[in-house]
Chains A and B, each alone.
Chain A
């Protein structure tokens, strides 16, 4: 059994200019990424009959929502048979999994999936009001956190990290090795935001944000958009690239959608998503050639490493000590592009993009040396997460 009977494949990818405060709108960036993805696939906009995005037109400040599906439809005059966006989904790739299901069931043939952010520019122009007090009262998901000064995901995730460290002895130095690995890879990625090498002293000496998380445990807001084309398998022949199969996907949520009520505080929704993913494939963690794992905060990556079965629960500290294992030339390279901590917060889609880049061997200086056929992608964490296994064919 494979995800949607193997009827959905990835045929093209595209990314806009990426940077800090580049002064472009989120729509502009989304359109650029979309053009590149359509061209990369060898399609035209007349072929695109579906659009999917995260999170859609939700009320958000600070450049979090760069463009909606309607923005992109309108700009390119798309005639679509199917479109979707939403924030109540499984990690940032939830609607992309829906797109795969839509093409598998015949509702669309080529779906343009995208995520656009312009947080760096928006925040520089003073639009990051969410934390600084434009809201009259904390409501919705913030009601039970903001009144206690728990303003940032760094606070919510810091508590998870603290409990895990307490239970299993994971150290800041061990997490730092993962962060430094990402920075080393980012040095080979011309599109990364931070490319200078980082030492353990740099990491440990950076100011604390919310202990145990310091500055370099938190990703970097940027401007940029990513687009992915999901196509029906029969429609993928004769295009530019050999299709990438979505071998398996996981989108499960086994507990309440909260940051503090999970029965076991040393796990996250990543574990639910990964468990359900492995149930749908004959592949095992040992078959994975490399992984791109969400690092909106460094600790989230440690959760994906465990959740996806690359080490036993409770043992991620020992895993991280074996740095050679997850370097670019290692047995399981992690985040060849540098992750969001160094390459910029493209908010989930960047990890999927990088998995495709590597599988198509378009990584340039950062291309993984060994032949890679199977990629694991883990996106999100905390109360919601989604993951997938991609398989290169041919």
Chain B
């Protein structure tokens, strides 16, 4: 069962540990290739671009843009009362690397492709889920 908040938390693996816990130090940690410097997500033990095995987590900027989104209207989890926004966020560090994430602190009807967003961590038990919110200036 999900934790007390109702969130379905991730099974933390050796490869994903930094991604799921970096938020406790306010860092968005994404796998990166030390040979070609390309970012990689979800984390995996080699670089699909150059085939180097020298990959590991690095600190990403934590900012990005909405590449695609959906407004979910169906109740799947108690912790996610509809409507809520799920988005594919492309990282400013490398736009063809995306995170599927939740958009928070935003008007559901105001979301659009290209919208600038920044990471905000939702800390639950032993993980900090990287959610994103609109950048406000």
Chain A residues near B12 (CB-CB < 8 A): 137
Give chain B nearest CB distance to A292 CB in angstroms: 27
How far, in whole Å, are A150 and B76 apart by their CA atoms in the complex? 9
Q: Give residues of chain A (331-372) contacting chain B, Cβ–Cβ below 8 Å.
A: none
Interface residue count on the B side (C-beta < 8 Å): 40
Q: Is B45 interfacial (CB-CB < 8 Å)?
A: no
Q: Is A163 interfacial (CB-CB < 8 Å)?
A: yes
Q: Contact: B71 with A211, CB < 8 Å?
A: yes
Give chain A nearest CB distance to B63 CB in angstroms: 18
Stretch at the interface among A9-17, A152-160, A233-241, A301-309: A152-160
Q: Give residues of chain A (124-180) contacting chain B, Cβ–Cβ below 8 Å.
A: 131, 133-140, 143-152, 154-156, 158-163, 166
Interface residue count on the A side (C-beta < 8 Å): 43
Q: Contact: A209 with B102, CB < 8 Å?
A: no
Q: Is A208 interfacial (CB-CB < 8 Å)?
A: yes
Q: Is B8 interfacial (CB-CB < 8 Å)?
A: yes
Q: Contact: A166 with B9, CB < 8 Å?
A: no
Q: Is A263 interfacial (CB-CB < 8 Å)?
A: yes
Give chain A nearest CB distance to B32 CB in angstroms: 15
Chain A residues near B73 (CB-CB < 8 A): 207-211
Give chain B nearest CB distance to A159 CB in angstroms: 4
| Known contacts A136-B1, A149-B102, A150-B86, A143 near B71 by CB under 8 Å | no
How far, in whole Å, are A359 and B10 apart by their CA atoms in the complex? 47
| Known contacts A136-B1, A159-B69, A147 near B7 by CB under 8 Å | yes
How far, in whole Å, are A129 and B79 apart by their CA atoms in the complex? 17
Contact partner of A263 among B1, B96, B127, CB < 8 A? Answer: B96
Chain B residues near A161 (CB-CB < 8 A): 70
Give chain B nearest CB distance to A167 CB in angstroms: 8
Chain A residues near B84 (CB-CB < 8 A): 149
Chain A residues near B79 (CB-CB < 8 A): 149
Chain B residues near A261 (CB-CB < 8 A): 41-42, 96-98
Taking CB as reference atom, which chain B residue is nearest A140?
B11
Q: Contact: A265 with B88, CB < 8 Å?
A: yes
Q: Is B2 interfacial (CB-CB < 8 Å)?
A: yes
A136, A140, A150, A152 — which one has the most chain B CB atoms within 10 A of its CB?
A150
Chain A residues near B129 (CB-CB < 8 A): 147-148
Q: Contact: A131 with B113, CB < 8 Å?
A: no
Chain B residues near A260 (CB-CB < 8 A): 88, 98-100
| Known contacts A163-B113, A166-B113, A148 near B11 by CB under 8 Å | no
Q: Give residues of chain A (91-124) contacting chain B, Cβ–Cβ below 8 Å.
A: none
Taking CB as reference atom, which chain A residue is nearest B124?
A147
Q: Is B131 interfacial (CB-CB < 8 Å)?
A: yes
Taking CB as reference atom, which chain B residue is nearest A150?
B86
| Known contacts A148-B86, A149-B102, A256-B48, A143 near B70 by CB under 8 Å | no
Chain B residues near A139 (CB-CB < 8 A): 10-11, 13
Q: Give residues of chain B (97-120) contacting chain A, Cβ–Cβ below 8 Å.
A: 97-102, 113
How far, in whole Å, are A134 and B8 apart by their CA atoms in the complex? 10
Q: Contact: B42 with A144, CB < 8 Å?
A: yes
Taking CB as reference atom, which chain B residue is nearest A143?
B10
Q: Is A259 interfacial (CB-CB < 8 Å)?
A: yes
The 4 lowest CB-CB distance pairs between A and B, nearest first, are A158-B70, A139-B11, A149-B80, A163-B68
Residues of A at the B interface (CB closer than 8 Å) are 131, 133-140, 143-152, 154-156, 158-163, 166, 207-213, 256, 258-261, 263, 265
Given A207-B73, A211-B73, 18 extra CB contacts under 8 A: A133-B8, A136-B11, A138-B11, A139-B10, A143-B11, A144-B16, A144-B42, A149-B76, A152-B76, A159-B69, A162-B70, A163-B68, A211-B71, A211-B72, A212-B70, A213-B70, A260-B88, A260-B99
- Write 29 A-B pairs (CB below 8 A) sorted by A numbering: A133-B8, A133-B77, A138-B10, A143-B10, A144-B99, A147-B8, A148-B101, A149-B77, A151-B8, A154-B70, A155-B70, A159-B69, A159-B70, A159-B100, A161-B70, A162-B68, A163-B67, A163-B68, A163-B88, A166-B113, A208-B73, A209-B72, A209-B74, A210-B73, A210-B86, A213-B70, A261-B98, A265-B67, A265-B68
